[in-house]
Amino acid sequence: MGKVDLNFMPNVPVFDANAALGRRHDKRVNVDTVEGTIAEMDRTGVTKALVYAPHGAAYDSTEGNQILLETIGNNDRLIPQFCANPTFDKIDDFSKSVNSANVKTIRIFPPLHNYPFAEWVVGEWLDWAESENIAVWIPVNYETNWHGALDIDPTQLHDTLKNRPNVNVIISEIKYADFPWIMPLIRSLPNISVEISRWVIIDGIQRLINAIGDQRILFGSRFPDSPMSPQLYNLHHNDLSDSSLKDICAGNTERLTGVKVS
Amino acid sequence: MIESTPIIDFHAHAGNWTNRAFPDNPEVYIKQMDITGVDRTCMNCIWFGDANWANNLVHNRFVSAYPDRFIGVAFVTPHYPEECIYELDRSFDELNFKFLKLYPDYYGQSSDADGYKPIFEWANQKEIPIMCHGRYGTDAPGTTQLKRYEKFTKDYPKIKWVIAHAGGGTELDSVKTAKELPNIWLETCGSGNPLNAVSYAVNHGLSDRLLFGSDMPIMDYRNQIAKVITADISRDDKKKILGLNAIKLLNL
Ligand SMILES: [Zn+2]
């Protein structure tokens, strides 16, 4: 007879490093409100969540980030992450908005916004991220009704970031099919972390820890497209030390955002 | 609270798949099963053109080596129609496999294709359950699972159909199909993980016809079982999906 805990809840503080908040233009999302997001966090034992606005990805970072801040209001469990389009946004204005909202992380979308992740395109933004200690989330892919499943080019990631050892980059939503390139990439570049909401490959957690240790792995859920708890369940069943579990579930994201979960 | 309940994984693959860096070493599966609490895993092998080779691999490497932990699942391909019936007879009569997995994607045609007719007729006569997908890349626009399985359940009323990746997947069409038709079960594995997929099916009255699956060695058992364990459904429903339904379906 299999032995399982049918009422599983995490036993460490949890900081979700990959959630979206707000409506999308191309479908009705499962949950688009603060109340709904907090309800799922309470149900699954998630303390805080780093959230970005889908509108900031699909259409306009300035308006999207504004909508995000208005939506969050004064809720201190939802931490804003700003979307950016380095080919359009003015870096000075963007920097001001980041500072005034006390935002520490941004999310960029090279394939969605149709630019190569190359020094000659994003160099100025990487200078800024480095000097302001802003961590940069890059999802492998971001799908909309007008943009299919075009993934980030791993060679561009490698060639650009190998000369940028002081910029913290988080490759978000790595998935099982990315295994052949993501493993050598993270082994070769120590400033890259990974967010694991879609990382369901067999023995995935152990493979990452064996490759890069426990300080560059971030729990994330991809809520509201996906539930918050399955990856937490996996992390709690991987024989991790207390400190590894705490760091992956929250500590590493705390360090990158400057926000404590408790 | 840790509790005991039978857990059967309905969907796992045998055979090496090296671009996922995973060798099909049964001991690795067993280690994962022990961590996760899985009692028995249903193993199919669909990665060979030679079904005889594939079924022998399942039998020799997994089922006969660890008969308490693995259940054999047969595979045949209509690319070689002349071999199908012989291989089906052999898989169920000699190897004692429990159901049939078909993978029309590798045939380049959907399960409605004529090539599958003799296989379905055979399974209907022997009352063998069949697992395959609900939709295919080759489907014409407007194809629905409901239409597809309406015909199947009418033409082959003794086959119990299991739609893979449907109970926890993105195909809400499959919930409708299972609700409206008899003899349809939905299996839960997949790399995608839509919010509320399992509870959606349960809330539509399908808790007796959902089956936990892992898709090993592509997916980790723990992520896949967590979809059921952490779903917003009752403990009794979790137990049914984790194993009790499979035990009933396969007469284990
Ligand atoms: Zn499969």
Residues with CB under 5 A from ligand 1 (ion): B 215
The CATH superfamily of B8-250 is Metal-dependent hydrolases (3.20.20.140)
Tokens 């409708």 belong to residue: B176
Tell me the CA–centroid distance for residue A24 and ligand 1, in Å: 31
* Contact between A34 and A78 (Cβ < 8 Å): yes
Please give the helix or strand (H or E) that residue B161 lies within, else none: strand B161-163
Domain span including residue A44? 15-257
Instruction: Say if the Cβ atoms of A230 and B218 lie within 8 Å.
Output: no
Tokens 């660890």 belong to residue: B66
Answer whether residue A1 is part of any domain. no
Answer whether residue A76 is part of any domain. yes
Report pTM.
0.90
pLDDT at B168: 60
- Give one DSSP letter per residue of B21-86, joined into a string: TB---HHHHHHHHHHHT--EEEEE--S-S-HHHHHHHIIIIIITTSTTTEEEEEE--TTSHHHHHH
Which is it for strands A2-5 and B2-5: parallel, antiparallel or unpaired? Answer: antiparallel
Answer whether residue A84 is part of any domain. yes
Please give the sequence-ordered ranges of beta strands (E in DSSP) within A25-159, or none if there are none: 48-52, 78-80, 82-84, 105-108, 135-139
Q: Which amino acid is at B246?
A: A
Please tell me which residue of chain B has the smallest CA distance to A204: B220
Domain chopping of chain B, boundaries: 8-250
Contacts of A120 (CB under 8 A, 6+ apart): none
Sheet holding A169-172, edge to edge: A82-84, A105-108, A135-139, A169-172, A192-195, A217-218
Name the residue facing B4 among A3, A180, A226 (closest C-beta). A3
| Number of independent structural domains in chain A | 1
- In chain B, which among 211-240 make CB contacts under 8 A with chain A? 216-227, 229-232, 235, 238-239
Q: Which of B237, B223, B215 is nearest to B193 (CA)?
A: B223
Radius of gyration of chain B (CA): 17
pLDDT at A194: 98
CATH of the domain at A39: 3.20.20.140
Residues of chain A where predicted confidence (pLDDT) is lower than 70: 149
CA distances from A9 to A261, B4, B182 (A): 17, 18, 36
Instruction: Say if the Cβ atoms of A234 and B222 lie within 8 Å.
Output: yes
- Rounded to a whole number of angstroms, the distance from the CA of A43 to the nearest CA of chain B is 9
CB pairs under 8 A between A and B: 128
pLDDT digits (tens, 9 = 90+) for A150-206: 899 999 999 999 999 999 999 999 999 999 999 999 999 999 999 999 999 999 999
Q: What does pLDDT average to over chain A? A: 96
* Contact between A238 and A205 (Cβ < 8 Å): yes
- For testing the chain A interface, which of B69, B193, B247 should be mutated: the one with the most A CBs within 10 Å? B193
Q: Which of A198, A224, A219, A172 is nearest to A40 (CA)?
A: A224
Whether A202 contacts chain B with CB within 8 A: yes
Q: Which amino acid is at B161?
A: W
Answer whether residue A181 is part of any domain. yes
Answer whether residue A240 is part of any domain. yes
For every one of its 252 residues, what pLDDT tens digit does chain B have, with 9 covering 90 and above?
889 999 999 999 999 887 777 778 999 999 999 999 999 999 999 988 899 999 999 999 999 999 999 999 999 999 999 999 999 999 999 999 999 999 998 888 999 999 999 999 999 999 999 999 988 888 888 889 999 999 999 999 999 999 999 866 555 789 999 999 989 999 999 888 888 889 999 999 999 999 999 998 889 999 999 999 999 999 999 999 999 999 999 999
Q: How far apart are CA B10 and CA B98, in angstroms?
A: 11
Instruction: Say if the Cβ atoms of B3 and A226 lie within 8 Å.
Output: no
